[in-house]
Structure 1
């Protein structure tokens, strides 16, 4: 046994280039899975750390259902017997310079906060961090003194004593502290923060340590929102629910394509050594020894490739982690996840995946090999014509798997995971149809290649069909990767077009004021704008996150009369007559809210306001892409009655349609807003910002499309190498019969291109079907909103070019081998 194993392993050193190709195949498959899994874990881990750090030791928080709360409540709560410790807090955002990033500002009461958040307050205590007593008192007494976290200081290249420039003025940095969350953070004394944000006499919330939750709730439930840490974490986790599902889906995609590649590589490993196995058996080695030698080689590749792949996956995760952080920050809340630190468990996971998939991929060719007589295997090549009966059998199995996928997709209402399972089962079923597609498409392809490459082209097309047991797996793997490219591309394009339709229908204001979240619009400025001649209407916008049936959702306050006149909402049922009941106290809900909570027109929703819970009738359901968590939209007058909150987040200004010179009015609005320090955006600028967020959101998905193509590229390369190694004698005979080196190279090149074309042809139907599955099933179950399918040639053209370039690229190494190999050597081997 040892002699046989040594003989096999010695071959790896002699054929270094082939060994490297095989290792890369396994490593890329493992890297795709490990990279996506680690980056998803990193983003979610950083999210948990951020929540824990800012929460500190608090067990609960209390706040108004909407808007700030009065600071005189602090004294009353402080004397409540259920309260052990409390800390009033101001939690707002500020923008660096005029167009910089939004940064979180935490206003804290230093002496009350040291029990709640000791890690934060310790940073500004005078005896630590080299902070002098003067700097400590400067922080407390000077409106313009702040602490900033170390990451922000590094990013802005500022140090202690420097000036921090923001949209609300300049601040003196009196100290720098460590912040493990990755989120840029500015600390201020709470009194200074009140003056900065014009909140004199008000605070945002009070963080609490309670000893009796039920007693405290019984005394303070009315008029306030009390939230435990568990509820807070569940709410924030639920906000990321759909995002987490999509990360898991992308990880499964990486695993699915990666296993296909590793399978292909392992099969190549076995086929590549057929002749050696035949010689060893002729010299007396038995089947078990050959099997053991092969398994040793395969495990060596699995271990080495898995280890390399885990390292590559870790490096890939560092890139993907940044993309995920950017996506979460754009859609939900700021998150700057740090890549996970290196762990040796990464290598263990990579090795297990590499070895498991390698053994799985080698089972079929190993069984075939040990059943073949030694005299046949010494030829190094056997022809494997799959009979029409076998093709029919495999096709029927594939159709059965597709029927199972239809059943699973139909049951996706049970859980989105059932939809994911149906999607992957569908891809698996279609891959079983590859043999049938080869039988159908090769005859016309043979005629086409005959016109292009004459005899060489005809042979190339025939070889694809003749070696169906080798080519079908590579074609299936490439087809799945190309289908994912078309499916995801069509999904993104359809979503983008649906989003543009929604913006043009719902966001029709000529100019918007303060849409960035860091500045509230003063009520008197709204009254000032109303007096400008030529303005037809101003929509006052206020949004509020709530918990509806313990699930996060949003309430939006608008001016129903203005939107009825100027907006063109997309209604699930009915038309603009739906606005009439909204003006008298009813609400409209977004499609995602309606689907999530099984609400329809005429139902009642219950909203907790400052005076308790109020029933509100649902007048209509509208299409909306602002939040997958759902929106309850009501007139501002009803919102004020419920929450006694007159805060204005932004204004949408509609210029009267009879005005000839709109630009003059827009310039006047901009001038007045600038005097107030309020940012403005025209309709086009506002829409562009939304589309920019959308494009950034799909950066991770686009990355996975590229990774899938790279993985499939190695699949095609492996299949071509398998065919090349098996046909050493055949190439020698071709050359002896007068075929030139160029003709043999043409055969190899056209085989690769042919496999790429077949993969693309299959991906047209499969990718389109996948797009409909993603849009009508997965998206609907994940986000609860409708995406309207929009056909575009772009995903198909990009995928065709990708298929051609990848196929040609995969041929380069086999072509190089053809030009380096002599016919005499090939014939002499026989």
Structure 2
């Protein structure tokens, strides 16, 4: 590359600092959104992994029971008969100390002494201390943080409120667990003490093991049906699988910002080529080859991409911390509870973001660079040739239609692939963007007969946009794509919310619900007296029972709802396909279970199939599927079993909630008061809540879930706004001579400013109008393809005219705001200086 060419390039951008700065900011924002989403996603995953590490310690597997209680003899058999020495029994639960809930874990001190805890071993937990746990009744070891909070030391006594009364605990030692320690923030006791305090005589909560794959396979085959062996690594894999669709959706939104940035870079490099047409012509005439000019523009684009992405990485780190809070809250609402942690920028993440940005910037520069390289010197000098060369409406329209058709073919052939679905969406967006300039020409020509454009300023504004289509078209494309994202996501979330609201109205068939509060062990059980007492409350016409369980369905742990008999029990489900009445009859008679739509989609289950279920009393059994029902409560899916069917194969009879249906003449406030009086009288804590309150709280969670999507939409619009600002700035400042002539022939500064604002408003109006059809198609792809492949559920499409109107207004306002500064510059520019440049 000739140093003279590089010097000319540097001087051009120095003479156009606004164009350079806004281009870098557009690239930087696109990179920043991508980096921030990556940071938030990776930090959320690390938070879950850390919680698993704390849960598992140095172990690889755990044994749990369907009812949460494992007989002590199981541990004895594992350690003595099967000689699995790396085995740790645990009794877990929660107690209250000074009104604060604390976690207690009881274990075998001898087993813990022989464990190699490695880096997770807390200081202050030596062998002598562990042995005293066996000989000191009520002895515990507490973490240093709790000791500081309570103001106690070694040898002091604690008074704790437990599920079975009050207990006095003596502090034998104080540990200093570091971050991520296996015993962090836990009160440690021996098994006997923990069982007495928590009211779990003779039982364990879970058993941890460190096993090889061969040992795990042999043990799993020999365990009783009531027990389950699970690898901690599998928990992490399950979390990754659960959140994959959510993370991919966020990544796609971030790539949309990069896509908008691609059009802006193309816009910038095209402007740069137009502004330097005379310089390029002189270079060609003095010996520079087309290939050298081609490489020059690519070098410029590469430099802009590297500098912009570097700025974007720095911005992304700041933005990522805010997004992490939103991502963590959404994952906690939808999947599992996690706590936000600090973001960590990995080198691989930086390289990936910079590489994607650089590739996008270089790809966007290829067309203008090729145009400059192939133009003859005399043509390169002609401005009119640059404008007319950019007008190939039928070619663009044909390419755009072909791209949109290709995206539909990709959707049809890609099965359940989420990545292919997003690829098809992006192909459709690119195809539609190619159609925007021809559509703009058609709209502009259609506006010519309108009275508004017969006046002088209106006619000048219309012709000005037409004559500068190589620049106004690109600005319109960028703004239309960004606004279409708000339309598409707005229609999708609106349709989703309406579908969820309709589903809640169907599902919440009872008027009131009584739910048991979690006890100190985190379990929810209503007292057995509740069912009879609730039936005797005046105004109550029907009572159904429900309880939640985790069952093994086709080898996968799935949430299950056990639903007791009531006249309306099966009416609370909207069945998809098949024969709904037959499905309701089979379910009501206790002959079959029903499967939610997401689980049906993931496992390929249909009505009439049989699923393999692991039962406590019967081992592996197969149960018939009566039907598939619509469900938005979990993207993992769930099953519902009638209690008659459940009690044939499982021994527990616990109930965690009641559904209360009221008589026609009953007053809901009176029934609520009577049920609350029952809650105060009967053992255990219970909450009485109406179906309306459940519906409102569910929709509030839904709205909170999509806050992060709204944030990303704003960021995409911001990228587009900066691009439009850059485009209009370059356009209006480049037309300085033309505006000077208008001033010299009698146009006042105010009229000139109105002309410039009219052109900006026209660009915004066109972008807004063209964004609505694209947004409508995007919403259909999001609803029927992306959401279906991400979460497995279907929903009804709704069109909201207010969203379309808001999109048009947003586009006009964005264009007008972007034009304020160049309008001010044009209005205050010196007429003499402008005319002197002619």
- TM bin (shorter chain): 0.7 to 0.9
Secondary structure, counterpart of 2:685 in structure 1: coil
Please say if residues 90 and 193 of structure 1, whose CA atoms lie closer than 8 Å, have aligned partners that are also in contact: yes
TM-score w.r.t. length of structure 2:
0.87
Larger displacement relative to structure 2 (163-172 or 789-798): 163-172
Cα distance in structure 2, aligned partners of 1:719 and 1:182: 57
Alignment of 1:638 with 2:637, yes or no, is no
**What is the alpha-carbon distance in structure 1 between the residues aligned to residue 135 and residue 311 of structure 2?**
51
Counterpart for residue 391 of structure 1: 393
Moved more, 53-62 or 315-324: 53-62
Per-residue deviation, 1:196: 6.2
2:753 — aligned with what? 745
Residues 494 and 75 (structure 1), Cα distance of their counterparts in 2 relative to 1, 3 Å cut: same
Residue 46 of structure 1 corresponds to which residue in structure 2? 47
SS of 1:328's equivalent in the other structure is helix
Please report how far the alpha carbon of residue 300 of structure 1 lies from its aligned counterpart in structure 2 after TM superposition.
3.1
Worse-matched range after superposition: 455-464 or 261-270: 261-270
On the 8 A contact 1:569/1:576 being kept in 2, the answer is no
Aligned to 1:595: 601
Q: Given that residues 148 and 186 in structure 1 are in contact (C-alpha distance below 8 angstroms), is that contact kept between their aligned partners in structure 2?
A: no
**Does 1:671 pair with 2:685?**
no
Structure 2 matches for 1:24-35, cutoff 5 A?
A: 24-35=25-36
| Alpha-carbon spacing, 1:142–1:466, altered in 2? closer, same or farther (3 Å) | farther
Shift of the alpha carbon at 1:603?
1.9
Map of 1:479-498 to 2, 5 A cutoff? Answer: 479-498=480-499
In structure 2, the partner of 1:524 is 528
Note if contact 2:526-2:656 (Cα within 8 Å) is conserved in structure 1: no
Whether the 8 Å CA contact 2:757–2:823 is kept in 1: the answer is yes
**Runs of 5+ unmatched residues, structure 1:** none
- Superposition deviation, residue 761 in structure 1: 1.1
Are 1:317 and 1:339, in contact at CA under 8 Å, matched by a contact in 2?
Answer: no
> In the superposition, relative to structure 1, how do residues 205 and 138 fare at CA in structure 2: closer, same or farther (>3 Å)?
closer
1:511 aligns with 2:505: no
| Superposed CA offset, 1:350-380 (max 9, x none) | 5444443333223322333344566676687
Q: 1:146 to 1:679 in 2, by over 3 A?
A: farther
Q: Partner of 1:662 in structure 2?
A: 668
Work out whether residues 60 and 228 of structure 1, in 8 Å CA contact, stay in contact via their aligned partners in 2. Answer: yes
CA distance in structure 2 between the aligned counterparts of 1:294 and 1:487, rounded to whole angstroms: 35
Shift of 1:94: 8.7
Alpha-carbon distance in structure 1 between the residues aligned to 2:243 and 2:92: 21
Match of 2:324 in 1: 321
- CA drift at 1:496: 1.0
Per-residue CA deviations over 1:11-31 (Å, capped at 9, x if unaligned) read: 444443333222212211221
> Are 1:215 and 2:223 matched, yes or no?
no
**Distance of 1:146 and 1:687 partners within structure 2:** 42
Question: How far 1:693 sits from its partner (Å)?
Answer: 1.8
Alpha carbons of structure 1 residues 746 and 69: separation in structure 2 relative to 1, 3 Å: same
User: In the alignment, what sits opposite 1:754?
Assistant: 762
Q: What is the match of residue 463 of structure 1?
A: 464
Q: Is 1:236 the equivalent of 2:239?
A: yes
Q: Is 1:719 equivalent to 2:727 in the alignment?
A: yes
Structure 1 segment 798-817 matched on structure 2, within 5 A: 798-817=806-825
Q: Does 2:562 match 1:557?
A: yes
In the other structure, the counterpart of 2:105 is 107
Superposition deviation, residue 56 in structure 1: 2.2
When residues 624 and 355 of structure 1 are mapped into structure 2, their CA distance, relative to the original with a 3 A threshold, is closer
Q: How does 1:678-697 map to 2 (within 5 A)?
A: 678-697=686-705
What's the offset of the Cα at 1:621? 1.9
Residue 333 of structure 1 aligns to a residue whose secondary structure is: coil
The answer as to whether partners of 1:405 and 1:426 remain within 8 angstroms in 2 is yes
2:541 alignment partner in structure 1: 536
Equivalent position SS for 1:625:
coil
- Could you tell which deviates more after superposition, 532-541 or 609-618? 532-541
Cα distance in 2 for partners of 1:472, 1:686 equals 49
Task: State whether structure 2 residue 333 is matched by structure 1 residue 330.
Answer: yes
Distance 1:523 1:515, change over 3 A: closer
Map 1:151-300 onto structure 2 (within 5 A). 161=152, 177-180=177-180, 186-187=186-187, 189=189, 194=195, 198-210=199-211, 212-277=215-280, 294-300=297-303
Matching residue of 1:608: 614
Q: SS at the partner of 2:82?
A: coil
SS in 2 for 1:79: helix
- Alignment CA distance shift 1:553-1:396 (3 Å): same
Q: Give the direction of change, closer, same or farther, for the CA distance of 1:392–1:677 in structure 2 (3 Å limit).
A: same
The residue number in structure 1 matching 2:365 is 362
Q: In the alignment, what sits opposite 2:61?
A: 60
Q: TM-score, normalised by structure 1?
A: 0.88
1:617 is matched with 624
Q: List per-residue Cα deviations over 1:438-482 (Å, max 9, x = no partner).
A: 12211243455x627932222222222222222222222222211
- Cα 1:13–1:85 change in 2 (3 A) is same
> For the Cα contact (< 8 Å) 1:97–1:167, is it kept in 2?
no
Does structure 2 conserve the Cα–Cα contact (< 8 Å) formed by 1:49 and 1:181? no
Distance change >3 Å, CA 397–CA 299, structure 1 → 2: closer
Structure 2: how far apart are the matches of 1:95 and 1:784? 41
Query: In structure 1, how many angstroms separate the alpha carbons of the residues matched to 2:145 and 2:707?
Result: 28
Which range is displaced more, 189-198 or 205-214? 189-198
Once the 2 structures are TM-superposed, how far is the Cα of residue 62 of structure 1 from its aligned partner?
A: 1.4
- Pick closer, same or farther for the CA change 1:472–1:12 going to 2, 3 Å: closer
- Residues 1:619 and 1:685: Cα distance change in structure 2 (over 3 Å): same
Size of the aligned set, in residue pairs, is 816
- Counterpart CA distance in 1 for 2:124 and 2:648 is 44
Structure 1 residues 575 and 67, CA, compared in 2 at 3 Å: closer, same or farther?
A: same
Distance 1:494 1:50, change over 3 A: same
> CA contact under 8 A between 2:380 and 2:386: conserved in structure 1?
no
